[in-house]
């Protein structure tokens, strides 16, 4: 129904998993699990280390983004991502808690949806998060936010100084 579109998924982890290992390994395994949902991986960013947002005493995160193609509609894709999180033992205790895996549907082409029945697109806080924008710049440096019309470089320049995001070697 939607054909070929630029779909962006953010991947993050700041807790190890007993089966998949350290956070970076969890994130790599998550890509395979997303692919198994019927998503073709088009591109992937480098992995970045970032501080928790909002600031806390949690461990740093490993974050990245991928672009995919799929025949799944946005709600179906989000449901699939939640299923992957469940398989990786994601616990939803309190907002912004530490987690083994966090998957967010960031953008589905230029689709805009602000209906709370969701999924909200583009992701409502993506423009305020270094851990999304820096990896996004890796794979889509010309991407523009479909609501505010600003390119990723402008969004990065507007970030608060307390968000660090550095590539992992």
pLDDT of residue 5: 57
Active site residues: 90, 99, 102, 104
* 97-153 tens-digit pLDDT: 788 999 999 999 999 999 988 899 999 999 999 999 999 999 999 999 999 999 999
Boundaries of domain holding 158: 7-167
* 35-71 tens-digit pLDDT: 999 999 999 999 999 998 877 888 999 999 999 999 9
CA distance 19 to 13: 14
Banded model confidence at residue 2, pLDDT cuts 50, 70, 90: very low
pLDDT of residue 161: 84
Asked if residue 144 is part of any domain, the answer here is: yes
Token pair 């998993």 is found at 17
CA distance 90 to 21: 14
Asked if residue 1 is part of any domain, the answer here is: no
Write the CATH number for 101: 3.30.70.560
Asked if residue 152 is part of any domain, the answer here is: yes
168: nearest Cα among 85, 47, 53: 47
pLDDT of residue 94: 67
pLDDT of residue 3 exceeding 70, the answer is no
Asked if residue 2 is part of any domain, the answer here is: no
* Total domain count, the chain: 1
Tell me how long the chain is. Answer: 169
CA distance 167 to 28: 15
pTM of the predicted structure, to 2 decimals: 0.93
Asked if residue 42 is part of any domain, the answer here is: yes
């Amino acid at each position: 129904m939607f054909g070929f579109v630029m779909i962006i998924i953010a991947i993050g982890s700041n807790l190890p998993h007993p089966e998949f290992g350290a956070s970076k390994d969890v994130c790599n395994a998550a890509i395979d699990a997303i692919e198994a949902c019927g998503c073709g991986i088009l591109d992937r960013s480098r992995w970045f280390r970032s501080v928790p947002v909002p600031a806390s005493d949690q461990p740093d995160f490993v974050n990245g983004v991928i672009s995919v193609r799929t025949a799944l509609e946005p709600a179906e894709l989000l449901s699939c991502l939640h299923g992957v999180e469940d398989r990786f033992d994601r616990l939803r205790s309190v907002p912004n808690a530490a987690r083994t895996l966090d998957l967010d549907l960031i953008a589905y082409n230029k689709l805009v949806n602000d209906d709370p029945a969701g999924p909200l697109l583009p992701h409502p806080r993506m423009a305020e998060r270094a851990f999304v924008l820096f990896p996004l710049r890796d794979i889509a440096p010309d991407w523009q936010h479909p609501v505010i019309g600003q390119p990723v470089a402008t969004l990065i320049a507007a970030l608060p100084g307390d968000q660090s995001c550095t590539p992992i070697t």
